[in-house]
Amino acid sequence: MTIRSVELTAWLGQFLWPFIRVSAVLLTAPLFSNILIPVRLRVLLGVGLTVAVLPAVGNVPQLDPLSPEGVLVAGQQVLIGAAIGLLLAMAFQAVAIAGETLSITMGLGFATMISPQTGVSSSVISQFLLILAMLLFLAVGAHLMLIQLLAESFRTLPIAASGLGGQDVYALVGWAGEMFAGGVLLALPAVAVLLIVNLIIGVMTRTAPQMNIFSVGLPLTLLAGFVVVLIILLPALPEHMTDLWRSAFDGLRRILNG
């Protein structure tokens, strides 16, 4: 049995092009891009997801992966996969923005740790909220919706040298405004309560100058901050993040549908 190079290229492309898009999603999407996940496990997960979405891929161009046309096709798959993962990652960063804002307001801006999601230093409040958001992400089945959206992307944006254009990239970048707005709306009630607490401490310091503001104000602000997080922020977190993820998935569908 003789296998020609054309047939070998066709067999390789049937798996290679979807694998590139799936790998780009795994490198950028929340939860899957966690630095604590070993690279080998991530590669095996990419192979498994590629096999799972192969029925939705359809026909693929029979191109040499090292040819100029093949490089363009590979670049488009990386761009599409990265767009899917980055938009969902921006939705997660709304929680990080809210956590950083609360940490600075309540006096915990100095308490930082290395984030397992991004590998950079962030406040402990942000880490706490991100862990809760990840558990909520799994609880509502958003990871399954992500895989479904990835499979649908092969129907709306087939594997070809053309895919996302400048307008789609602009829409993706413009969605960053939703990220900042979501973070501010999530932290706004708690920040307002902490502002009132700081005003009360300021009035107390003004009326009793002999009172040590550092020995009284910092513990009171920390206590008020933790109470606010437990009473105001945490009950509103599931509904707020669900709405934000729904908006992110809707935005992704609009981008992928052109």
Side-chain half-sphere CA neighbours of 232 within 13 A: 18
14-37 pLDDT, tens digit per residue, is: 778 888 888 888 888 888 877 777
Contact 126, 106 (CB under 8 A): no
How does the average pLDDT of the chain come out, rounded?
Answer: 79
CA dihedral 108, 112, 118, 119 (to 10 degrees): 170
157-199 pLDDT, tens digit per residue, is: 887 767 777 787 787 888 888 888 888 888 888 888 888 887 8
Contact 104, 183 (CB under 8 A): no
68-106 helix and 5-28 helix, angle to the nearest 10 degrees? 10
Q: Is the pTM of this model over 0.75?
A: yes
Say whether 162 sits in a helix, a strand or coil.
coil
66-125 pLDDT, tens digit per residue, is: 777 878 888 888 888 888 888 888 888 888 888 888 887 777 766 666 665 666 667 778
* Residue-range domain boundaries for the chain: 5-256
Amino acid 8: pLDDT: 56
CA dihedral 138, 186, 246, 252 (to 10 degrees): -100
**Ranges 6-10, 56-60, 127-131, 133-137: which has the least confidence:** 6-10
Q: Is 171 exposed, middle or buried (0-12, 13-18, 19+ CB in 10 A)?
A: middle
